[in-house]
Amino acid sequence: MNLKHLLVSATALVSVTATAALAEEITVATVNNADMITMQELAPEWEKATGNKINWVVLEENVLRQRTTQDIATNGGSFDIMFIGAYETPIWGKNGWLTSLNDFADDKDYDVNDIFQLVRNGLSADGNLYAVPLYSETSFTFYRTDLFAKAGIKVPTEQITYTEFAEMAAKLHDPENGIYGTCQRGKAGWGENMAFVGTVANAFGARWFDENWNPQLDSAEWNAAINYYVDLMKKSGPPGATANGHNENRALFKDGKCATWVDATSAANDVKNPATSKVADVTDFFQAPKQVTDKGTGWFWSWALAIPKSSTKVATAKDFLKWATSKEYFQKVGETKGWVAVPSGTRASIHEDPRLLKAAPFAETIKKAIFSVDPADPTRDPVPYTGVQFVAIPEFQGIGNYVGQQVAAALAGQQTVEAALANSQKFAVREMTKAGYIK
| Residue 147: CATH number of its domain | 3.40.190.10
As a whole number of angstroms, the distance between CA 317 and CA 106 comes to: 17
Residue whose C-alpha is closest to residue 27's, from 38, 42, 43:
43
What percent of the chain has pLDDT above 70? 95
Does residue 5 lie in a domain region? no
Does residue 8 lie in a domain region? no
Q: Is the pLDDT of residue 372 over 50?
A: yes
Whole-number pLDDT of residue 15: 38
Does residue 216 lie in a domain region? yes
Q: Read off the amino acid at residue 114.
A: D
Residues 208 and 258 in one domain: yes
Q: Region 37-66: what's the mean pLDDT?
A: 96
Three-state SS across 58-96?
EECHHHHHHHHHHHHHCCCCCCCEEEEECCHHHHHHHCC
Whole-number pLDDT of residue 33: 87
With cut-offs at 50, 70 and 90, classify the pLDDT of residue 10: very low
Residues 190 and 254 in one domain: yes
Q: Is the pLDDT of residue 407 over 90?
A: yes
Whole-number pLDDT of residue 31: 93
Does residue 372 lie in a domain region? no
Whole-number pLDDT of residue 7: 43
Residues 257 and 165 in one domain: yes
Residue whose C-alpha is closest to residue 82's, from 126, 139, 36:
36
Residues 265 and 331 in one domain: no
Domain enclosing residue 80, as ranges: 22-137+301-361
Pairing status of strand 25-31 against strand 53-59: parallel
User: How confident is the prediction for the chain on average, in pLDDT?
Assistant: 94
Report yes or no: 130 and 101 within 8 Å, Cβ to Cβ: yes
As a whole number of angstroms, the distance between CA 193 and CA 158 comes to: 26
Does residue 192 lie in a domain region? yes
Q: Is the pLDDT of residue 17 over 50?
A: no
Residues 186 and 317 in one domain: no
As a whole number of angstroms, the distance between CA 38 and CA 192 comes to: 22
Does residue 12 lie in a domain region? no
Q: Is the pLDDT of residue 4 over 70?
A: no
Residue whose C-alpha is closest to residue 116's, from 349, 305, 332, 354:
349
For 281-330, how does the pLDDT look when each residue is reduced to its tens digit (9 = 90+)? 999 999 999 999 999 999 999 999 999 999 999 999 999 999 999 999 99
For 225-250, how does the pLDDT look when each residue is reduced to its tens digit (9 = 90+)? 999 999 999 999 999 999 999 999 99
Does residue 218 lie in a domain region? yes
Q: Is the pLDDT of residue 190 over 50?
A: yes
Residue whose C-alpha is closest to residue 215's, from 401, 420, 408, 438:
438
Residue after which a domain boundary falls, among 316, 331, 361 = 361
Residues 102 and 168 in one domain: no
Report yes or no: 224 and 230 within 8 Å, Cβ to Cβ: no
For the ranges 13-22, 52-61, 140-149, 169-178, which has the lowest average pLDDT? 13-22
Does residue 17 lie in a domain region? no
Residues 220 and 279 in one domain: yes
Residues 133 and 146 in one domain: no
Residues 266 and 316 in one domain: no
Residues 123 and 152 in one domain: no
Number of domains in the chain: 2
With cut-offs at 50, 70 and 90, classify the pLDDT of residue 90: very high
Higher pLDDT, residue 165 or 1: 165
Residues 259 and 407 in one domain: yes
Residues 308 and 189 in one domain: no
Residue whose C-alpha is closest to residue 421's, from 244, 216, 230:
216
